Amino acid sequence: MDSAGVFFALGASLCWGTVPVIYKLGMGKVLMEKMNAIRSFGFLASSLIIYRLAGESSMGGASWVILVGLGLAVLLANVAGDLLFFIGIDAVGVGKATAVTCSYPLFVTAISVLLLGESVTLTAISATVVVIVGLVLLRSRPVGQEGGSGAIFKGVSASLGAAFLWGGSLVVTRWAVLESDLGPAALNLWRAIFFLPIAWGWWGCRYLSMGNADRPDLFRTDLKSWAALVIAGALALSLGGFFITRAMMLAPASLVSPIAATSPLIAAIWGRLLFSERLSPSQMLGVVLIIAGSLAISI
């Protein structure tokens, strides 16, 4: 067992479990498309620093086809998928949204079966059932709660959409890594380079589609939101991604996956401490089932 691999896996889990809290703090009145654009600066700046510190020799080693694939992965996961994740956090809270998105390994398996011809194991089928049961429990309302069923449906649906897009992005990224000589820091930097114009282009289109009376300032927002979103971009997209890639290189996947997948529990703890988000016993069981099923299919 490589202790460095465990360290990097714990680092990824801490990043991914803390970032949803930062998103929640940075939301305020900032539109979600604008949030995505702002965090692109944190992603690019931190990726450049990590690339320099990692000492990787070149950004080359990938054909234009690979680079197009990485651009597509960024569009799927870091733009469309994360926007759905923001909606989920806003609707059902940090802990629930993060737990639902933890189901993304199920979508990775499904996409791999359909596109890559991989076989389905009994473990995968059982894990799918466990996750579905967990999602049903998570959608249930706590005892005494009168309203909010619409918000729960919206939040869970948006979080599932994010998990689906993240899963598709992982399949594309896995293909890019296998077919190129890019190191983890170079791969992350390419993603950051693609992400900035895509995110700002998306926000620009959203901005132009709004009426003049409803348009906020294209760039300006409060300093607290800017700081929170730039930090979130650095942690989630750059540092977390680099940590998990390094962990997989240093320790077995059977060790890394369970450690990294504890991020929903970290997010739930932060949500309880900072936002007083509460889960009923059945919803807590749902969170545990989602995490357990996702771990079973990942190992």
- Residue whose structure tokens are 């089932």: 289
The pLDDT of residue 46 is 95
The pLDDT of residue 200 is 93
- Using pLDDT thresholds of 50, 70 and 90, give the confidence band for residue 82: confident
The pLDDT of residue 156 is 84
Mean pLDDT of 117-142: 65
The pLDDT of residue 171 is 74
More confident residue, 82 or 60: 82
Which stretch, 125-134, 149-158, 266-275, has highest mean pLDDT? 149-158
For 171-192, the pLDDT digits (tens) are 777 677 677 888 888 888 998 9
Which stretch, 38-52, 56-70, 182-196, has highest mean pLDDT? 38-52
For 233-271, the pLDDT digits (tens) are 999 889 987 887 777 667 655 456 556 666 766 777 777
Kindly tell me if the per-residue pLDDT of 286 is higher than 70: yes
- pTM over 0.85? The answer is no
The pLDDT of residue 48 is 94
The pLDDT of residue 107 is 76
The pLDDT of residue 132 is 65
Amino acid at 271: G
The pLDDT of residue 266 is 76
Kindly tell me if the per-residue pLDDT of 19 is higher than 50: yes
Mean pLDDT of 91-100: 76
Mean pLDDT of 164-175: 78
What lies within 8 Å, CB to CB, of 161 at 6+ separation is: 81, 84
The pLDDT of residue 1 is 47
The pLDDT of residue 138 is 58
In the chain, the percentage of residues whose pLDDT exceeds 70 is 74
More confident residue, 119 or 233: 233
The pLDDT of residue 135 is 61
Kindly tell me if the per-residue pLDDT of 298 is higher than 60: no
